[in-house]
């Protein structure tokens, strides 16, 4: 480039920075006028970091930012109109008014409002780019406050170990909301990255030209070497964290205002041309505001989940032709689907052969698919976040969480990231992510390795939850899932189920059937009028079966068992159909019952089929953690004897 060309580029970048500031200032005004939804985290004073990053990136690169993302967004996309409309909650906003200030998605730009949580997702995006073989990279923007979040370090660890082309840009503005850095940050910022073996660099926004060079070098490095890099950009925000919450020393702030590069630039280049450009900016922003004001508000929808078809199911006799152990059936299902679809990846702890997973489901798949079965460090959050990023980029990742109890470590990734992307980004993305995990007790593993935590993950819009059981081929479940996956799906695999064989050998006098849903409901229909309907799922089906056998044999009571595969969203109609015949419902669950699956089902039945439910009861464990003592655990967790007792009491109580 010639000197003039370089000067022009630099000038344009200055204009870009000025435009960002103008927009941010106008947003603050709009906020004061009450025209914005929520709050704004302006980047006034930090504009150059966004400008420098956007200038260094190429087409095909991705940029993931945080709550203070307007500058990054405008530098990357120049979409003033979309941003203003989005913050005003309008349908013309780049996310239809659903995301607002902090949750932006457009043209390769993402942002989310959870500090640190974005890091593994960004790493997943970069990892996906690496797998395509194209020289694209992902930049993730964090703040110095983010250094408090553990998941950030999980992401750095994996990024370094797996050589992921992730460029971490940390805007160090010395404050985390209202807390000055020296109160919360131990040690050195760059040393943190260096500890992972990640190359570091440093710049600041008061020397924009130098910053441009630094950022360009960093980005080039990441692109060339295909490894992560950690860039610290020192800067300062001249306004409050969000709005009206600035407790900083005014003198300190003023000092930074005095050396603010844009203010200085304006002073030095006070000219007609500049004034005209500023006027153009102003006019453009005015127009954006006016258009946004005229546009309709974001659209209301009932739900973004699938709505079950309001119809009675068609039932079909279940024929289970194999009698293999479930663990083998699962292994085969993963294998055949991985052979069929190259997008499927397996991630998890200890899943590679020869160990082959804690419950031996993945076995030797890493030998057949060496690049597609990935052992991760013990980082549940990063594991799920990385998988989300991969899913965003069109892969079909299957994340194994070794014990369902550990899923809590990834809860933020599941709830605030994977589940929400589709809706809050206004349907622009899909997250075809599968998380599979064993739950359940009766192996004496103790309080933190035996739980059934489904209830904590039920009812999250945008997700699906399945629970495998012994009377419907789990391989077929995965086949259907892989074929149709379009949203984060949690698959609960009961631990005891792994060793069981799949047969259709149900108690005499009962017919094994399943419905015509994609993930069918299983029914054990008695050859006689039912006295009680038993609802259960997962591992409890085996107990329920044993119980109905005893109940008929000894107590002359006939029960019908309804066992859904899909716990959420829930189709209540197979159950309602059964309750219409029996009038009584017993819900059996292995997890705690307070505000759990049973409570939800009973509420739905009461709402939708008033009058048919005469009596209802739940069977669930007592309200304390699961003890490690084996015999005690077996006595506490629901089993056939508990179910028998409950049914007898339920019928007698009439």
Partner 1 sequence: MPKRTSVIIPRENVNDAMVTLVNWCVENGTFVEAEQALADVEGSKAVFTISAPVAGVVQYTLSPGQEVEVGGVLCLIDGNEALPPPAEALPSQSETTPAVTIPVSQSEALRPVAETMPVLTEAGNGITAVSSGRRQPRFSQKAAALLQQHGLAPELFMGQGLVRVQEVLQRLEGHGPRTASPPEAELSWPADAASRPEPVAALGVPVHTVPLAQHKHTERRYLASSFSNTLPSMVTVAVPTRGLRAAAAQSPKFSGSVTALILFEVARLLHKYPALNAFYARGAMHVYEEINIGFAVDAGHGLKVPVIHQADTKSLQDIASEMQEYLLNYLENSLRVESLVGGTFTITDLSSEGVFTFSPLINQGQSAILGVGGEFFLPNSPAGLFNLILSFDHQLAEGRQAAQFLQDLAYRLQAYSAVFKSDMSHEVGAEELHCARCLASLRQLQRLGTVQQEEHFLVQTVQPDGRHEYRCNTCLQGW
The residues carrying an active-site annotation are 449
| Torsion angle (degrees, nearest 10) of CA 513, 516, 521, 525 | -30
Helices (H) and strands (E) in the chain, counts: 24, 23
Tell me the per-residue interface mask from 462 to 501 with partner 1, x by CB under 8 A, - otherwise: ----------------------------------------
Give the residue, chosen from 150, 283, 312, 484, that forms a contact with partner 1 under the rule CB under 8 A. Answer: 312
Pick between residue 59 and residue 527 the one whose CB is nearest to partner 1. 527
Closer to partner 1 at the Cβ: 577 or 590?
577
Pick from 412, 513, 543, 545: which binds partner 1 (CB under 8 A)? 513
* Residue number with CB closer to partner 1 (384 or 512): 512
Residues 346, 517 contacting (CB under 8 angstroms): no
Q: How many CA atoms lie within 13 A of 623 on its CB side?
A: 4
Does 311 bind partner 1 (CB under 8 A)? Our answer is yes
Would you count residue 553 as binding partner 1 (CB under 8 A)? yes
- Residue 555 interacting with partner 1 (CB under 8 A): yes
- What residues does 171 pair with on adjacent strands? 143, 233
Three-class secondary structure of residue 148 per DSSP: helix
Q: How far is Cα 187 from Cα 415, in angstroms, rounded to an integer?
A: 32
List the beta bridge partners of residue 138. 62, 166
Tell me if 648 contacts partner 1 by CB under 8 A: no
Closest alpha carbon to 481 in 493, 471, 498? 493
Given candidates 459, 509, 583, 627, which one binds partner 1 under the rule CB under 8 A?
509
Q: Which of residues 533-552 bind partner 1 (CB under 8 A)?
A: 549, 552
Measured distance CA(614)–CA(210) in Å, rounded: 76
CB of 471 to partner 1, least distance (A): 15
Task: Figure out which of the listed residues 528, 625, 630, 641 binds partner 1, where binding follows CB under 8 A.
Answer: 528
CA distance 588 to 544: 8
Supply the minimum distance, in Å, between the C-beta of residue 307 and partner 1: 11
Q: Nearer Cβ to partner 1, position 51 or 570?
A: 570
558 interacts with partner 1 by CB under 8 A = yes
- What residues are paired with 251 via a beta bridge? none
Name the residue nearer to partner 1 (CB basis): 272 or 527: 527
- CA-CA-CA-CA torsion sign (339, 161, 354, 630): negative
Interaction between residue 511 and partner 1 (CB under 8 A): yes
- Whole-number minimum distance, CB 486 to partner 1, in Å? 21
Q: To which H or E segment does residue 14 belong?
A: helix 3-32
Among 577, 589, 590, 600, binds partner 1 (CB under 8 A): 577
The candidate with the shortest Cα–Cα distance to 326, out of 519, 505, 474, 540, is 474
Longest dimension (CA), the chain: 97
CA distance 215 to 13: 14
Query: What is the distance between the alpha carbons of residues 335 and 221, in angstroms, rounded to a whole number?
Result: 37
C-alpha torsion angle, residues 539, 544, 547, 549 (rounded to 10): -110
- Which range of residues in 250-258, 417-425, 503-511, 589-597 is near partner 1 by CB under 8 A? 503-511
Judged by CB under 8 A, the residue of 287, 314, 595, 629 near partner 1 is 314
221 forms part of the interface with partner 1 (CB under 8 A): no
Q: Under the criterion CB under 8 A, does residue 306 sit at the interface with partner 1?
A: no
Please report how close the Cβ of residue 643 comes to partner 1 at its closest, in angstroms.
17
Three-class secondary structure of residue 169 per DSSP: strand
- CA triple 26-51-392, angle to 5 deg: 95
- Residue closer to partner 1 by CB (options 371, 556) is 556
Burial of residue 497, with CB atoms counted within 10 A of its CB: 0-12 exposed, 13-18 middle, 19 or more buried: buried
* C-alpha span between 640 and 646 (Å, rounded): 10
Give the x/- contact pattern for partner 1 in 583-622, rule: CB under 8 A.
Answer: ---------------------x--xxxx------------
580 binds partner 1 (CB under 8 A): yes
Q: Among 93, 385, 389, 526, which residue interacts with partner 1 (rule: CB under 8 A)?
A: 526
Distance, CA of 510 to CA of 530 (rounded, Å): 11
Q: How far is the CB of 554 from partner 1 (least distance, A)?
A: 6
Among the listed ranges 202-210, 231-239, 270-278, 553-561, the one in contact with partner 1 (CB under 8 A) is: 553-561
Which region among 303-311, 374-382, 590-598, 615-623 touches partner 1 (by CB under 8 A)? 303-311
Judged by CB under 8 A, the number of residues near partner 1 is 35
Stretch that binds partner 1, among 313-321, 398-406, 437-445, 537-545 (CB under 8 A): 313-321
Of residues 413-472, those binding partner 1 (CB under 8 A): none
Q: Binding residue for partner 1 (CB under 8 A) from 459, 581, 599, 636?
A: 581
Encoding tokens for residue 177? 């909301």
Q: Which is nearer to partner 1, 264 or 554 (CB)?
A: 554
Structure tokens at 76: 């990357």
Residue with the two structure tokens 């007898």 = 648
Phi and psi for 322 in degrees, rounded to 5?
Answer: -95, 165
Q: Which residues bind partner 1 (CB under 8 A)?
A: 309-317, 508-509, 511, 513, 516, 525-529, 549, 552-556, 558, 572, 577, 580-581, 604, 607-610
């Amino acid at each position: 480039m010639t000197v003039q060309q370089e000067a022009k580029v630099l000038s344009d970048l200055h204009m870009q920075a000025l435009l960002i500031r103008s927009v941010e200032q106008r947003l603050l005004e709009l906020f004061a006028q009450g025209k914005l939804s929520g709050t704004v985290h302006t980047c006034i004073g930090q504009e150059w970091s966004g400008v420098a990053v956007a200038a260094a990136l190429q087409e095909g690169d991705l940029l993931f930012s945080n709550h203070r993302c307007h500058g990054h967004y405008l530098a990357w996309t120049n979409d003033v109109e979309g941003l203003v409309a989005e913050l005003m909650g309008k349908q013309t906003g780049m996310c239809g008014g659903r995301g607002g200030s902090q949750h932006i998605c457009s043209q390769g730009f993402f942002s989310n409002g959870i500090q640190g949580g974005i890091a593994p997702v960004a790493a997943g995006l970069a990892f996906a780019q690496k797998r395509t073989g194209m020289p694209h990279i992902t930049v993730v923007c964090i703040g110095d406050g983010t250094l408090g979040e553990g998941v950030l370090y999980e992401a750095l660890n994996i990024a370094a170990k797996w050589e992921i082309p992730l460029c971490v840009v940390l805007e160090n503005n010395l404050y985390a909301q209202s807390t000055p850095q020296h109160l919360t940050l131990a040690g050195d910022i760059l040393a943190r990255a260096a500890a992972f073996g990640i190359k570091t660099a440093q710049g600041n926004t008061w020397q924009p030209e130098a910053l441009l060079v630094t950022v360009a070098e960093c980005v080039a490095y990441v692109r060339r070497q295909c490894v992560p890099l950690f860039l610290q950009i020192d800067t300062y925000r001249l306004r409050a964290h969000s709005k009206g919450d600035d407790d900083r020393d005014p003198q300190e702030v003023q000092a930074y205002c005095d050396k603010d590069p844009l203010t200085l630039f304006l002073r030095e280049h006070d000219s007609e041309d500049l004034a005209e450009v500023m006027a153009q900016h102003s006019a453009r922003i005015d127009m954006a505001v006016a258009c946004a004001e005229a546009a309709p508000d974001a659209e209301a929808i009932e739900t973004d989940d699938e709505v079950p078809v309001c119809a009675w199911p068609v039932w079909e006799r279940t024929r289970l032709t194999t009698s293999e152990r479930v663990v083998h059936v699962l292994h085969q299902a993963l294998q055949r689907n991985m052979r069929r679809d190259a997008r499927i990846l397996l991630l998890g702890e200890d899943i590679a052969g020869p160990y082959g997973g804690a419950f031996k489901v993945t076995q030797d798949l890493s030998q057949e698919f060496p690049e597609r079965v990935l052992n991760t460090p013990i980082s549940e959050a990063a594991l799920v976040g990385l998988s989300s990023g991969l899913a965003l980029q069109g892969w079909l990742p299957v994340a194994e969480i070794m014990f369902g109890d550990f899923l809590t470590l990834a809860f933020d990734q599941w709830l605030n990231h994977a589940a929400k992307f589709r809706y809050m980004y206004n349907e622009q993305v899909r997250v075809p992510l599968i998380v599979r995990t064993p739950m359940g007790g009766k192996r004496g593993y103790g309080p933190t390795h035996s739980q059934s935590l489904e209830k904590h993950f039920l009812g999250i819009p945008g997700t699906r939850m399945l629970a495998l059981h012994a009377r419907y081929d789990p391989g077929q479940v995965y086949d259907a899932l892989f074929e149709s996956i379009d949203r984060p799906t949690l698959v609960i695999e009961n631990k005891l189920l792994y060793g069981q064989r799949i047969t259709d050998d149900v108690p005499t006098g009962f017919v094994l059937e399943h419905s015509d849903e994609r993930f069918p409901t299983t029914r054990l229909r008695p050859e006689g009028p039912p006295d009680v309907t038993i609802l259960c799922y997962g591992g409890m089906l085996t107990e329920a079966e044993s119980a109905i056998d005893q109940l008929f044999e000894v107590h002359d009571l006939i029960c019908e068992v309804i066992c859904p595969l899909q716990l959420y969203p829930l189709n209540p109609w197979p159950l309602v159909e059964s309750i219409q015949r029996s009038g009584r419902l017993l819900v059996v669950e292995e997890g705690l019952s307070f505000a759990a699956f049973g409570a939800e089902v009973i509420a739905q039945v009461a709402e939708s089929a008033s009058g048919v439910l005469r009596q209802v009861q739940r069977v669930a464990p007592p309200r304390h953690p699961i003890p490690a003592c084996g015999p005690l655990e077996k006595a506490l967790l629901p089993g056939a004897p508990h179910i028998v007792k409950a049914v007898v009491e339920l019928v007698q109580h009439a």
